[in-house]
Amino acid sequence: LTSGLESAWNKLKGEEVLTKENIAEPMRDIRRALLEADVSLPVVRRFVQTVSDQAVGTGLIRGVRPDQQLVKIVNDELVKLMGGEVSELVFAKSGPTVILLAGLQGVGKTTVGAKLALYLKKQGKNCMLIAGDVYRPAAIDQLVILGEQVGVPVYAAGTEIKPADIARQGLEEAKKKNVDVVIMDTAGRLQIDKGMMDELKEVKRVLNPTEVLLVVDAMTGQEAAALVTTFNVEIGITGAILTKLDGDSRGGAALSVKEVSGKPIKLVGRGERMEDLEPFYPDRMAGRVLGMGDVLSFVEKAQEVMRQEDAEELQKKIMSAKFDFNDFLKQTRAVARMGSMSRVIGMIPGMGKVTPAQIREAEKSLKVMESMIEAMAPEEREKPELLAESATRRKRIAQESGKTEQQVSQLVAQLFQMRVRMKNLMGVMEGGSLPALNN
């Protein structure tokens, strides 16, 4: 981190109000983070403007520091920018729901088609795929193979036929077979060109689709805004699917879609497996975009600040040797929160990426600890020594919480270990030995 940047946020910490002047540097920081995340420049500009206006306009909330408040405004605006909530797919009221997939070549349309068919099949929908990429025989084979893989029929009519005609025939077939959802794959080009757009328009006219989903590669970056705009203006989209989010792109494209088209991202692809399709969560994406702005990650800054604050409070507790099970619970919960936050933002400072499995594990062990702490009497929570001294008490807690005595002993030992570790951390060395558990 550059020292200038650090001091910008530090300076903010002491401020009484957010002003145009004192947020100028942090906002530059954010701007840079967004540009690094490949968000299109006009989108960044509008965003920074919106956040600045809002930051200056809002009074400080008591108990929330100005820098944290700014981070929150940024995060909330980012989430809003991407549509706020999860946007569900729309289904036709009667007759088959028709989903038309569009997008440039290689972005993952054909893959998404099959993934989506599987996704909807799991929801109990009877699906059918239509192979509309008539330019490469291999493209049809690809869809047929994927269709087999996910157990969904594929309507294919070869390459000697216009996509619009395939669409018409496919749709007729689907109606005959009482299919719930028809997904049409189309041909892409390397760049937007008139031929592709005309063809898509024609297919759209024939299908009258419920959803026209633009498939966008997460690596698209800066050009995303122009791309989405063109597709939306030319053929009219109802939403987008962001693919290849498993790569190391920052996903900046995600920020442009809603902003320039007014249409939400509905789904994301995060891998080559057929199962790798999920709803798009704006809050998680906001974190990713921010979290990936490596050096400039101001979320990291906020977390640092949070940890500092926790540490100060802890220090006081430790100095008075009063770190008890209530604090333990608070601390562990805070760590768990950070864990689930890290899923959102893809990072914890200094810890690198936390895998979902690790988070689940942490959440599980927190539940176990919570149930034991809940079984403690108030005086036991405040004076863990009581538990260290009495096997009877530990036994009671084990029974009440449905855990083993060994688990309770472990928890008690853990608390004292934490006391010691924190004392060492603070450089307060006296009284650093572990009390033995008496039987």
d(CA 403, CA 355): 27
d(CA 213, CA 207): 13
Span 127-146, contacts to Mg ion by CB under 5 A:
133, 139
Only one of the segments 116-124, 222-230, 238-246, 253-261 lies at the binding site for ligand GDP (rule: CB under 6 A); that segment is 238-246
Q: How far is the CB of 275 from ligand GDP (least distance, A)?
A: 11
Q: Give the DSSP letter of residue 384.
A: T
Q: Is 266 in the site for ligand GDP (CB under 6 A)?
A: no
Query: What is residue 209's three-state secondary structure?
Result: coil
Q: Is 192 in the site for ligand GDP (CB under 6 A)?
A: no
Query: What is residue 82's three-state secondary structure?
Result: coil
Q: How far is the CB of 400 from Mg ion (least distance, A)?
A: 59
Phi then psi for residue 153, to 5 deg, are -65, 145
Only one of the segments 64-72, 240-248, 306-314, 329-337 lies at the binding site for ligand GDP (rule: CB under 6 A); that segment is 240-248
Which one of residues 40, 75, 97, 110 is an interface residue with Mg ion (CB under 5 A)? 110
Which residue, 272 or 385, has its beta carbon nearer to ligand GDP? 272
Tokens linked to 356: 């979902």
Which one of residues 14, 42, 106, 402 is an interface residue with ligand GDP (CB under 6 A)? 106
Which residue, 112 or 398, has its beta carbon nearer to ligand GDP? 112
Only one of the segments 60-68, 244-252, 300-308, 403-411 lies at the binding site for ligand GDP (rule: CB under 6 A); that segment is 244-252
d(CA 190, CA 174): 30
Residue 106's binding partner among ligand GDP, Mg ion, none (Cβ under 5 to 8 angstroms by kind) is ligand GDP
Which residue, 215 or 415, has its beta carbon nearer to ligand GDP? 215
Q: Is 251 in the site for ligand GDP (CB under 6 A)?
A: no
Q: Is 246 in the site for ligand GDP (CB under 6 A)?
A: yes
- Tell me, residue by residue from 34 to 73, as one string, x for binding to ligand GDP by CB under 6 A and - for no binding: ----------------------------------------
Q: Give the DSSP letter of residue 20.
A: T
> Quick one: CA torsion of 323, 324, 326, 331, rounded to 10 degrees?
50
Q: How far is the CB of 366 from ligand GDP (least distance, A)?
A: 32
Q: Is 105 in the site for ligand GDP (CB under 6 A)?
A: yes
Phi then psi for residue 345, to 5 deg, are -100, 0
Q: How far is the CB of 327 from ligand GDP (least distance, A)?
A: 43
Tokens linked to 310: 């926790």
Return the number of other C-beta atoms located less than 10 Å from residue 216's C-beta.
Answer: 26
Which one of residues 236, 271, 349, 435 is an interface residue with ligand GDP (CB under 6 A)? 271
d(CA 279, CA 438): 53
Which one of residues 108, 153, 221, 251 is an interface residue with ligand GDP (CB under 6 A)? 108
Q: With residue 235 as reference, give the H or E element that holds it.
A: none
Only one of the segments 84-92, 105-113, 395-403, 421-429 lies at the binding site for ligand GDP (rule: CB under 6 A); that segment is 105-113
Which one of residues 110, 220, 238, 303 is an interface residue with ligand GDP (CB under 6 A)? 110
Distance of CA 29 to the CA centre of its chain: 22
Return the number of other C-beta atoms located less than 10 Å from residue 35's C-beta.
Answer: 16
Q: Are 161 and 126 in contact (CB under 8 A)?
A: no
d(CA 45, CA 127): 42
User: What is the length of the chain?
Assistant: 439
- CA atoms within 13 Å, Cβ hemisphere of 324: 16
The CA-to-CA distance between both ends of the chain, in Å, stands at: 52
Which residue, 274 or 437, has its beta carbon nearer to ligand GDP? 274
Binding stretches for ligand GDP (CB under 6 A) = 103, 105-111, 188, 243-244, 246-247, 269-272, 276
Binding stretches for Mg ion (CB under 5 A) = 109-110, 133, 139
